[in-house]
Structure 1
Amino acid sequence: MNPDSFDIYRLLPFSRDDFAAAADLAQRFTAAYGTYRFDEDPKVYVDRLGGMVTEELRAELARGASAPGLLDERRQEQVVAAGTATLDRIRDVENNSVIFLVTGQQRVTRSGEEAQERRQYAVTVSRDGGSWRVYAFEPADVGQAGDTG
């Protein structure tokens, strides 16, 4: 078999365009997740993420973003975070979903002090009708890591 003519996409459940769209969504979502302001209404934050996620995940994000302790801490410390993200690799591919490992970077200002923070996430993107939606989102080191050998 000639490696130059080998098409891996014919063996996978998604086309090249599907993978690109799913990967773009995982990256955009992670960047948006890491972008917020202490003076921003949690509803505005969740609405920004809403078009990218399933209804179930949207409800979960809304609960987390509205947690009184979190809001109080962010207001007291005047936290402003600007997120970006980079795709690291694919963790798993199923018939209707792909799990991407994505590193989120944040430039965080807290009480006037600026810091850089990084965290890798497992972002599960699934087909939802004719489009892609983020179905699950968690730190990459939580849960099953798949093949570790």
Structure 2
Amino acid sequence: STPAAAPATTIGGGGGVNIYQWLPFTQQDLTAASRATVAFAADYENWSYTEPAQAYVAKMNGLVTTNFAASLQNSYATPGVAALRSAQKQISTSSGGIASIRSFGTGSITFVVNIAQRLATTSGTSNSTKQYAVTVVSNATGWQVNDVELAGAGNQ
């Protein structure tokens, strides 16, 4: 027997295409998820050596899940990292933008995000841009960041 043909999907013409019918999220979800991601990107590499870990994470309140907030706080307070930040009087400012969508599933979207950082220290100032994979999840309070890692690390 011959397999049944899949229904034809036309692109173009008068009706246009609603790609969201094929995705596990709505256009509004994508907008909300991307807003949370960009807001997080602005805060992630924005800190000062005078800022305690609790204050660093507090500015991301509502943007990150509770578990991820605890992880960020622990990472920020790591003794060797915190001591270097203080010794060099590091102050970091940043901005970020979404480069692409890496993956998605029901209730989860991973964006590739470019974060530009300006780092001022007692030795001078440097500028760099890094790509991160930022995963946001949908929960009762909206879309929140649940994970961040360098875009080149892990599974891609």
- TM, length-normalised to structure 2: 0.88
Residue-by-residue CA offset, 1:53-112 (whole Å, 9 max, x unaligned): 111111111111111211111111110100100100000110110000001111110115
Largest Rg, 1 or 2: 2
Secondary structure of 1:19 counterpart:
helix
Q: For residue 12 of structure 2, what is the aligned residue in structure 1?
A: 3
Distance across 2 between alignment mates of 1:44 and 1:38: 11
Match for residue 152 of structure 2 among 124, 141, 148: 141
Secondary structure of 1:3 counterpart:
coil
Q: For residue 40 of structure 2, what is the aligned residue in structure 1?
A: 29
Q: For residue 85 of structure 1, what is the aligned residue in structure 2?
A: 96
Q: For residue 58 of structure 2, what is the aligned residue in structure 1?
A: 47
The alignment status of 1:67 with 2:97, answered yes or no, reads no
Stretch deviating more after TM superposition (94-103 or 4-13) = 4-13
Distance across 2 between alignment mates of 1:86 and 1:14: 21
Distance across 2 between alignment mates of 1:2 and 1:131: 32
TM-aligned CA deviation for residue 52 of structure 1: 0.9
User: Which 5+ residue runs of structure 2 have no aligned equivalent?
Assistant: 1-9
Distance across 1 between alignment mates of 2:147 and 2:11: 38
* Alpha-carbon spacing, 1:98–1:77, altered in 2? closer, same or farther (3 Å): same
Q: How many pairs align?
A: 145
Match for residue 140 of structure 2 among 101, 121, 129: 129
Aligned residue type for 1:120: Q
TM-aligned CA deviation for residue 137 of structure 1: 0.8
Distance across 2 between alignment mates of 1:71 and 1:2: 54
Secondary structure of 1:120 counterpart:
strand
Identify, as 1 or 2, the structure richer in helix. 1
The alignment status of 1:110 with 2:121, answered yes or no, reads yes
User: Which 5+ residue runs of structure 1 have no aligned equivalent?
Assistant: none
Secondary structure of 1:71 counterpart:
helix
- TM, length-normalised to structure 1: 0.92
Secondary structure of 1:141 counterpart:
coil
